[in-house]
Amino acid sequence: MKTNSISIDGQQITFREGQTIIQAALEAGIYIPYLCYHPDFEAHGSCKVCTVRVNGSHCSACTTFASDGQVVDNHCEDLNSSRRAITQMLFVEGNHLCPSCEKSGDCELQALGYYLKLFGSHFPHLFPHREVDATHPHILLDRDRCIFCELCVRASREVDQKNVFAISGRGIDSELVVNSPSGTLLDSGLDVNDKAAHVCPVGAILIKNQAFQVPIGQRKYDKNRIDDADLIEVKHDHIDS
């Protein structure tokens, strides 16, 4: 008999047809860590932070549909340790110097690190050379901090319908590029009110002149751990809709 329920770490939850595991989990108040997932956009499945074990095999919770009777492992030491390593990979791949970043305290990569009790980088840093684009009067693009979640790409394409951002290149040489004659944000048509200007989970795309309106120490993830913060948001969205 169909019950539309799955078990996550032994807890039975129900899901609606067409929901992915992460959607069902968040709605049921269970946090699965993620970076590239966003409820407003098509699932992407690239960061691999939300990797869970479903009936024994690893898969992304954001791209795997919930189906009756699935047995999902989420919070267990081996999965969290993989998530920690993946997060460390993101840290060493770019140039993430939190003390010099105005996103600090509001940054999801950082908050995920806190959540996973990630204290050090572990891997050797790659210290890549990436270009900063400060041409736009209101928006800054600091590629050093890009984690290739493509949220800006998706937001610009799906919501703003502008295609301002895209990923170019391949492998470790991938880069975030801007769709404009000059290749910079200046003539890209990106507006400060666009979704794409606000969706970056890290400090790669920032609104200028707002750096320290909220002091360090009083920011989103200074107050709430990322799991609590995200579950609160899901709850609000649920009530709003």
Partner 1 sequence: MIETTIKSIIHHHASDPTRLLDILLDLQNQFGYLSAETITQTADLLDIPVTRVQGVVAFYNFLYAKPVGRYRILLSNCIIDTMHGALAVMDQFCQQLGIKPDQLRSDGKVSIAETSCSGFCDQGPAALINGVAIASLNSQRIASIVNLIENDTPLKDWPAELFQRPDNIQLPGYLLKQAITPGSAISSLLSRGTQATLDEIEQSALRGCGGAGFPTASKWRYCRDAEARQHYVVCNADEGEPGTFKDRVLLNQFADQMFEGMTICARIIGARQGFVYLRGEYLYLKDKLQQIIDERTANHWLGNDIAGVTGFDFEIKIRLGAGAYICGEESALLESLEGKRGIPRIRPPFPVTHGYLNQPTVVNNVETFATAAKIALEGSQPFNQQGTANSPGSRLLSVAGDCTHPGIYEYPFGTRIDQILDDCRAENTLCVQIGGPSGTMIAEADFHRHISFEDLPTGGSFIVFNGTRDPLEIAGNFVAFFAHENCGFCTPCRVGTTLMKNTLSKINSGSGSQDDIAELHQLCELISKNSHCGLGQTAPNPVMDTLACFAERYQAKVNNRTFTPDIDLEAALQEARQLTGRDDPAAHLDQFNE
Partner 2 sequence: MTTSTAKINIATTSLAGCFGCHMSLLDIDERIQDLAEVAVFDRSPFTDIKHCNQSDIGLIEGGVCNAENVHVLREFRKQCNILIAVGACAINGGIPALRNNIPLKECLEESYIDGLGVVNPQIPNDPELPLILDKVYPIHEIVKIDYSLPGCPPSADAICAFITDLLAGREPTLPDELIHYD
Number of residues counted as binding partner 1 (CB under 8 A): 39
CB of 78 to partner 2, least distance (A): 18
DSSP of 47-113, one letter per residue? S-TTEEEETTEEEETTTSBP-TT-EEE-S-HHHHHHHHHHHHHHHHHTT--GGG-TTTTT-HHHHHH
CA 10 to mean position of chain CA atoms: 26
Q: Which stretch binds partner 2 (CB under 8 A): 3-11, 79-87, 121-129, 193-201?
A: 121-129
CB atoms within 10 A of CB 103: 22
Residue 96 as a binder of partner 2 (CB under 8 A): the answer is: yes
CA atoms of 4 and 16, how far apart (whole Å): 7
Q: Which stretch binds partner 1 (CB under 8 A): 23-31, 42-50, 97-105, 136-144?
A: 42-50
Residue 135 as a binder of partner 1 (CB under 8 A): the answer is: no
Q: Return the one option of partner 1, partner 2, none that residue 231 interacts with (CB less than 5 to 8 A, by type).
A: none
Q: Are 35 and 109 in contact (CB under 8 A)?
A: yes
CB of 10 to partner 1, least distance (A): 22
> Which of 71, 76, 126, 232 touches partner 1 by CB under 8 A?
126
Residue 1 as a binder of partner 1 (CB under 8 A): the answer is: no
> Which of 98, 159, 166, 207 touches partner 1 by CB under 8 A?
166
Q: Are 189 and 162 in contact (CB under 8 A)?
A: yes
Binding residues for partner 1, rule: CB under 8 A, are 43, 45-49, 51, 58, 60, 63, 82, 85-86, 89-90, 92-93, 123-124, 126, 147-148, 163, 165-175, 177-181
